[in-house]
Amino acid sequence: MKPNGNGNGVLPWIKDEARPQLRSWEQFYRNRWQHDKIIRSTHGVNCTGGCTWQIYVKDGIVTWEMQGLDYPSLEAGLPPYEPRGCQRGISYSWYLYSPLRVRYPYMRGALLDLWKDARSRHEDPVEAWASLVGNPEARGRWQKARGKGGFRRADWDTAVELIAAANIHTIKKYGPDRIAGFSPIPAMSMISYAAGARMLELMGGVALSFYDWYCDLPPASPEVWGEQTDVAESADWYNAKLLAVMGSNLNMTRTPDCHFAAEARHNGSKMWVFAPDFNQVAKYADEWIPINAGQDCAWWMAVNHVLLKEFHHENPTPYFLDYTKRFTDAPFLVELRQQDGKWRAGQLLRANRLAAYQGVENGDWQFLMWDAGDGKPKMPQGTVGFRWAKQKGKWNLQLKDGQDGSDIDPVLSFLGGETVEVELDDFGEGRTLTRGVPVTRIQTADGGAVTVATVYDLLMAQYGVPRGLSGAYPTDYDDEGLPYTPAWAEKYTGMGRETLIRFAREWGNTARHTRGKCSIIIGAGVNHWYHNNLMYRAGIHALMFCGCVGVNGGGLNHYVGQEKLAPMEPWSAIAFARDWMPAVRLQNAPSWHYMHTDQWRYERSFRDYHAMPRDGAGGGEGLDIAHGHTADVQVEAVRNGWLPFYPQFDRNPLDVVREARACGQDPVKVAVEQLKERTLKFSVEDPDAPENWPRVWYIWRGNALMSSAKGHEFFLKHYLGTHTNAIAEDLAGGSVREVAWHEQAPQGKMDLVVDLNFRMDTSALYSDIVLPAATWYEKADLNSTDMHSFIHPLSAAVPPCWESKSDWQIFRTISKKFSELAGRHFPDAVEDLVASPLAHDSPAEIAQPAMRSWMRGEVEAIPGQTMPNLKVVTRDYKNLYNEFISFGPLVRANGLGAHGTSYAIEDLYDETLRARPVVSWGGQQYPSLFEDQQVCDTILHFATVTNGELAYRSYQNMQEKVGLPLTHLAERNRGVRLSYKDLQAYPHRLLNSPMWSGLSENGRAYAAFTYNKECLVPWRTLTGRQHFYLDHPGYLQFGEHLPAYKPKPSPVEYADLRLSKADGPSLMLNYLTPHGKWHIHSTYGDNQRMTTLSRGVEPFWINDRDAAEIGIEDNDWVEVHNDNGVVVTRAAVSARIPRGISIQYHSPERTYSVPKSPLRNYRRAGGHNSLTRVRLKPNLMVGGYGQFTFHFNYWGPTGCNRDTHILVRKLPDLRW
């Protein structure tokens, strides 16, 4: 039996194949392993992993998935990318055939019955819909049933007809801008995103943003760089020699790339991890900094204090100073102004104030440096003024005067000369300080003189670097009383000064030795706080002071929900129907939800919780946005064209045009007049009036009602009109001035909510219609990310299962039905008036040098300049379907571009008509967008990152603007043209493109802003440099012109716990919802694999001593509540959580394992967003000013949620 039981000393269990038939049973496992097919795909939403996967098919059934390993390798000395793909991704195949899969269309029973009845009475579906929504009782019937069961299987025809009819009715009665759609982060399945957005934009509907709404957009990035976000691909972490990881749990959220950080350590890199809890990435740390939650700003402010003192002032590091001069605004001159007898820093001094530059083009947008050589102020090239000048070629970072071409040797500091005492804000203590600042005086053209300081000297003062000047400078690092010393930071961060000083010195030394290879990896743990922009900015300053931005191995690497849709140019044309429509409706979701869900009603002035400068500080002329209610600032932002808001007006925009035409007048002119007369009003001024409600909402690829719904319970109440667990009171009545107040807030604004889904998630559960969507293993699509520099496909391993369809097919189907019904209701093309805000990367960046209001008569009302753009757009609804499936003519005429780039495609477009599938209608031929794969190929064919010739053209175009050579960056790849099938073969690396700020040729790891630093292409900011100083008048009013520490909003002032009271032993804790281990947002978290490996619920993590205090043991059920709602889950009691905070990882579903809440009369408890309510930071609403200019997902207030507090107690009674 055991042939080796011999005398050779060998133990007897080794079985050689002497009797192989005894081992023939081994086929049992071999059979399992055998499979029929492997197809490449990936996971298509809301995960920036962008991992390439091999999907295994056996018997026509997807059995499992394994990671693809075939990423092309990068340059020598970098670890490879394989394998990529985490525990969540590898569990995806569970969904395909699971009981959670949406296999058929479903409709809420109450609605289906009413619809059938209405259709029996109305031959026309549009009339049938009108009869239902016009009947409050009927409308309320299905609204109140939302989320409460009663789904009925429906057929596609019924569902699509109802949806199309609802669209047509809404357009006719209210206007197309009452139809909205939400789908997050297109990069992960860009065709699927584009499907819905394209249909909506062709219709005149509204696409909602996601990045800012998720609070994943770091506003500090546009503030400093004029860039939405650009970061290093993960391989570049390996180049960093000091890694500061904060608010980013690489193991959890960057799972496939975490190894680069781990491996860098073995290459001699040092890793510091900042987190209040001992989180997963802390295991890799050399030093774990258990910093108090939300106090990262204090840490960095003090670090900057040390860096400036030791590496700039006492021992100036040549590299640091040179970098600061060339690539930052530090040498620019700021005008100091006296207010109430005190000097305060004001705006950057404009060149046209000086006689020498009085007549220069865009003189309000030209700025000055002091030239050491000639001893006078000079006007450097590269500013926003040069960007939009008629004469091109001076928008570059050469240190030359833009007028006479002379060299500039910028002075950083006037130290040694005259000083004045400048008033600075100390928000931590709620006081002001004065500190001496070196200044100089400059003669102005009007014969006067201005007192100016460099940004650099102001920074030295703000950071409190003692340089022998007068005023409230700290004596040394141990001075606890004055900002921003290491001792000062202790009381906020809880971290000792020795550690901080050691960190700062290691930072400075490492950067000095490596010329900038210090990297901050940062994410939602920091970015979701109310004052996130200040926290980020302080960290960014440490990078800028030490020359770490634009350097491989350096930079701010922000990873949370970040969006890098690499082939942006053709994709955005298709997604937003720019190939047909000259204007689009893109809405920043934070503003939209804040107003429409009525969350603004539940707070008073933002000054209740937002630390502000003393009254009168910052002043200046024009609008005061530093007082009052956030909703009022929101209204100003819309009126002035800073932010979009849809619906636009209290009237149907189709009617506005029709009526103007009827009188033979220009609709734009009429609209402006009526707005001035207030006979036409912005909807945002009265969001609760029925004519201003959004009516139809599409949700696809996302969980808009739960996972991302900050203030979820208010969504249920005001959008859906169903049950809610919110008990918060309306408070805003006495606080709002610009927004109309209704004593009674409306409930149930939405007529129809349509969800496309492959699983029954919370959003699906609460929708009226659920359409079965193909999974990511059942369709063709494209995927890119900024975690790596490759692009790869989603492919169909099996066809869409049961009755599901791809998102592209679904919206195509709806479009077809819509066009059919439009034949009767819109036999002729209609005209729509589209209002859109002032746009980044357009001349609107220099539209508003001051905040002046046309409403108040301070300036003329000029569309696109002092107010929103207004454009008449023609819509041919009966051909909407044809347009949907055709790559339209506007791209051929206008070319493509993004982020300020541009290139012609006429020849390629025509070639496509000859060589690729086309559609014909109306006597014309167009490249076909009928099939998903055709859309993929069109995008790949017309994008700079996948078509080398177009990259070359785009650089050529940019070269003319910049005036320096750039085409060499594309020379090598000019012949590359990628297709969908190429990507199916293996992931391909993206080509250099001027649309992105990094360079990646020859396997170099992509790092943000290397293009700017090495090719001297300006950042898209006011000065063209990285901005330390933010001189927007609104920022001056908020005291955020300089970096500053602002305290967290306190729980009482934040008003989450006004009515909620402790019932039994309870604790108040800060409620944190970072990204978790067992889900990507809410996806995967509900599958059997992930629930098994977690605890079957999304638990509530609490410190062991906190738990003991209120009698909670591990795995006890707990009830967590505040005025916004309630959560019931189980406790995970752990010492790794510090006292005073709690964590429930983002994001649970209400669909599984959620019991009822005794505190809410035994109603079903909610999810994490049941406890949140959104507050918007008003100064992030400004626009029309350099980098403070709107772009979708790019600029605007963000949906922060970290400052939430809750009460927790042991659940007294478990009921289901």
Partner 1 sequence: MNVRSQVAMVFHLDKCIGCHTCSIACKNIWTDRPGTEYMWWNNVETKPGTGFPTQWEDQEKYSGGWEVRDGKLQLKSTSKEKTVFNIFHNPHMPTMDDYYEPWTYDYQHLFDAPEGPDQPTARPISMVTGELIQIQAGPNWDDDLGGSPVYAQNDPNLKGLTPDQQQQLFAVERLVFFYFPRICNHCLNPACVAACPSGALYKRGEDGIVLVDQNRCRGWRACVAACPYKKMFYNWNTGKSEKCILCFPRLETGQAPACFHSCVGRIRYLGNVLYDASRIEEVAKLPDEQLVEGHRSLILDPHDPEVIYEARKNGIHDSVIETAQRSPVYQFVKVWKIALPPHIEYRTMPMLFYVPPMAPVMANRDAGAVNGVSGDLFHDIEQSRVPMKFLANLFGAGHEAKVRYALRKQKAVRWYRRALTVGDVEMSVAERMLREADSSPEEAEAIYRLTSLCTFEDRFVIPPMHREEAIQMLEDPLAHKQSVGFGFTTGPRRGM
- The secondary element (H helix, E strand) that includes residue 174 is none
* Residues 14-33 within binding reach of partner 1 (CB under 8 A): 14-17, 20-33
Q: Rounded to an integer, what distance in angstroms lies between the CA atom of residue 954 and that of residue 1094? A: 49
Nearer to partner 1, 121 or 513 (CB): 513
Count Cα neighbours of 567 within 13 Å in the Cβ-side half-sphere: 38
Taking CB under 8 A as the criterion, the residue among 57, 98, 691, 730 binding partner 1 is 98
Of 494, 486, 220, 450, give the one whose Cα is nearest residue 337: 450
- What is the rounded CA–CA span in Å between residue 262 and residue 271? 9
CB of 23 to partner 1, least distance (A): 8
Nearer to partner 1, 501 or 626 (CB): 501
Residues 765-794 that bind partner 1 (CB under 8 A): 765
Nearer to partner 1, 170 or 279 (CB): 279
Q: Interface with partner 1 includes 1154 (CB under 8 A)?
A: yes
CA gyration radius, the chain: 30
Q: Is 340 exposed, middle or buried (0-12, 13-18, 19+ CB in 10 A)?
A: exposed
Q: How far is CA 1203 from CA 636, 849, 999, 1047, in A?
A: 26, 34, 38, 11
C-beta closer to partner 1: residue 149 or 468: 149
Q: How far apart are CA 803 and CA 191, in angstroms?
A: 20
Please give the angle made by the CA atoms of 151, 1087 and 249, to the nearest 5 degrees.
125
| 1153: contact with partner 1 by CB under 8 A | yes
Candidate segments 319-327, 329-337, 902-910, 1128-1136, binder of partner 1 by CB under 8 A: 1128-1136
Residue 257 Cβ vs partner 1, minimum distance, rounded to whole Å = 8
- Rounded CA separation 984/1078 (Å): 28
Among 676, 723, 742, 972, contact with partner 1 (rule: CB under 8 A): 723
**How many of the other CB atoms lie within 10 Å of CB of 1133?**
22
Q: Which of 87, 135, 665, 1050 touches partner 1 (CB under 8 A)?
A: 87
CB of 96 to partner 1, least distance (A): 12
The answer to whether the CB of 1050 falls within 8 A of the CB of 294 is no
* For partner 1, the closer CB: 98 or 853: 98
Q: Which C-beta is closer to partner 1: that of 239 or that of 1198?
A: 239
- Reported as type and span, the H/E element at residue 875 is strand 869-875
Cβ distance 351 to 376 under 8 Å?
no
- Alpha carbon separation from 1048 to 258, 487, 1200 (Å, rounded): 30, 19, 12
- Using CA of residue 117, residue 122, residue 125, residue 126, what is the dihedral sign? negative
Residue 314 or 1113 having the CB closest to partner 1? 1113
342 makes contact with partner 1 (CB under 8 A): no
Closest CA to 236 of 542, 503, 535, 549: 549
- Least distance between partner 1 and beta carbon 10 (Å): 4
Q: Binding partner 1 by CB under 8 A: which of 155, 286, 478, 1063?
A: 286
The correct pick among 64, 156, 319, 930 for binding partner 1 (CB under 8 A) is: 64
Stretch that binds partner 1, among 504-512, 614-622, 958-966, 1019-1027 (CB under 8 A): 504-512
Write out the two tokens for 257: 């790339």
Q: What distance in Å separates the CA atoms of residue 348 and residue 350, rounded to the nearest whole number?
A: 6
Query: Which of 96, 159, 273, 1207 lies at the binding interface for partner 1 (CB under 8 A)?
Result: 273
Q: Which is nearer to partner 1, 475 or 1092 (CB)?
A: 1092
Tell whether residue 217 is a contact of partner 1 (CB under 8 A): no
Residues between 146 and 165 with contacts to partner 1, criterion CB under 8 A:
147-151
The full length of the chain comes to: 1216
Q: Which of 842, 181, 186, 205 is nearest to 581 (CA)?
A: 205
Q: Which of 773, 1097, 1141, 1174 binds partner 1 (CB under 8 A)?
A: 1097
Nearer to partner 1 by Cβ, of 517 and 1041: the residue is 517
Nearest distance from residue 58's CB to partner 1, in Å? 11
Residue from the set 41, 65, 634, 883 that interacts with partner 1 by CB under 8 A: 65
> Across the beta sheet with 53-58, what order do the strands follow?
37-41, 53-58, 61-67
Our finding on whether 1138 is near partner 1 (CB under 8 A) is yes
Single residue of 55, 106, 1005, 1045 touching partner 1 by CB under 8 A: 106
Which one, of 369, 345, 338, 366, lies nearest residue 442 by Cα? 369
CB of 616 to partner 1, least distance (A): 37
For the bound state, the minimum distance from the C-beta of residue 701 to partner 1, rounded and expressed in Å, comes to: 20
Residue at token pair 């100003």: 636
Burial of 9 (0-12, 13-18, 19+ CB in 10 A): exposed
Q: Which pair of tokens denotes residue 157? A: 């025809």
Nearer to partner 1, 64 or 156 (CB): 64
Looking only at residues 593 through 612 of this chain, which bind partner 1 when binding is defined by CB under 8 A?
none
**Can you tell me which of 531, 593, 878, 1150 binds partner 1, judged by CB under 8 A?**
1150
- Does 515 help bind partner 1 (rule: CB under 8 A)? no
User: Can you tell me which of 48, 91, 735, 789 binds partner 1, judged by CB under 8 A?
Assistant: 91
E strands in 539-591: 555-558, 586-587
Among 262, 469, 890, 1062, binds partner 1 (CB under 8 A): 262
Q: At 715, phi and psi to the nearest 5?
A: -65, -45
Q: Does 662 bind partner 1 (CB under 8 A)?
A: no
Round to whole Å and give the CA distance between 1 and 26.
17
Q: Provide, rounded to whole angstroms, the least separation between the CB of residue 122 and partner 1.
A: 25
Q: Interface residues for partner 1 in 464-493 (CB under 8 A)?
A: 490
Nearer Cβ to partner 1, position 258 or 745? 258
678 contacts 686 by C-beta, under 8 angstroms: no
Structure tokens that stand for 143 in this block: 């609204």
User: Which of 26/418 has CB closer to partner 1?
Assistant: 26
- Contacts (CB under 8 A) with partner 1, residues 289-308: 289-290
Residue 130 binds partner 1, judged by CB under 8 A = no
The burial class, CB within 10 Å (0-12 / 13-18 / 19+), for 689 is middle
Give the residue, chosen from 393, 496, 849, 1140, that forms a contact with partner 1 under the rule CB under 8 A. 496
Question: 517-546: which residues touch partner 1 (CB under 8 A)?
Answer: 517
216, 227, 230, 506: which one contacts partner 1 (CB under 8 A)? 506
H helices of 620-738, in order, are 630-639, 653-662, 667-677, 712-714
993 and 789 in contact (C-beta within 8 Å)?
A: no
For the bound state, the minimum distance from the C-beta of residue 544 to partner 1, rounded and expressed in Å, comes to 21
- Give the residue with the Cβ less far from partner 1, 558 or 1150: 1150
Among 90, 96, 835, 1057, binds partner 1 (CB under 8 A): 90
Q: What letter does residue 257 receive in the DSSP assignment?
A: G
- Residue in this structure with the two tokens 């929708």, named with its chain if needed: 767
Residue 603: Cβ-neighbour burial (10 angstroms; 0-12, 13-18, 19+): buried
Candidate residues 38, 61, 100, 469; the one interacting with partner 1 per rule CB under 8 A: 100
* 110, 411, 461, 830: which one binds partner 1 (CB under 8 A): 110
